[in-house]
Amino acid sequence: MKSVKEFNGRNVLVLGLAKSGLAAAKLLHQLEANVIVNDIKSIEENEAVKELEQLGITVISGKHPLDLLDEYKIEMVVKNPGIPYKNPIITQALQKQLPIITEVELAYRISEADIIAITGSNGKTTTTTLIFEILKADGQMPLIAGNIGKVACEVAQKASKENIIIMELSSFQLLGTIHFNPKIALILNIFDAHLDYHGTKEKYMKAKQRIFLNQNRDDVAVVNLDDEHVIELSHISKAEKVYFSTKANLSQGAYIKDEYVWYNDEAIMPINDIVLPGKHNLENILAAVAVVKSRGVKNDAIRQVLTSFSGVRHRLQYVDTVNGRRFYNDSKATNILATSKALEAFSTPIILLAGGLDRGNEFDELKPFLRNVKALVTFGQTAPKIERVAKEAGIEKIKRVDNVEQAAFEAYEMSNEKDVILLSPACASWDQYKTFEERGDIFIDAVHKLK
Binding residue ranges: 120-126
Residue 142 exposure: Cα atoms within 13 Å on the Cβ side? 23
User: Rounded distance, CA 96 to CA 411, Å?
Assistant: 57
Contact 33, 55 (CB under 8 A): no
User: Rounded distance, CA 86 to CA 24, Å?
Assistant: 22
User: Rounded distance, CA 97 to CA 141, Å?
Assistant: 39
Binding residue ranges for ATP: 120-126
Contact 348, 418 (CB under 8 A): yes
Helices (DSSP H) in 307-354: which residue ranges?
336-344
Contact 126, 117 (CB under 8 A): no
Q: How far is CA 186 from the centre of its chain?
A: 13
List, edge to edge, every strand of the sheet that includes 184-187.
141-146, 163-168, 114-119, 184-187, 220-224, 240-245, 254-257, 260-263, 266-270
Q: SS3 for 299?
A: helix
The DSSP call for residue 35 is E
Q: SS3 for 193?
A: coil
Helices (DSSP H) in 138-189: which residue ranges?
152-158, 171-175
Residue 214, number of CB atoms within 10 A of its CB: 19
If residue 131 lies in a helix (H) or strand (E), which one and from where to where?
A: helix 124-137
The DSSP call for residue 111 is -
User: Rounded distance, CA 62 to CA 79, Å?
Assistant: 16
Contact 131, 291 (CB under 8 A): yes
Q: SS3 for 254?
A: strand
Radius of gyration of the chain (CA): 23
Residue 274, number of CB atoms within 10 A of its CB: 18
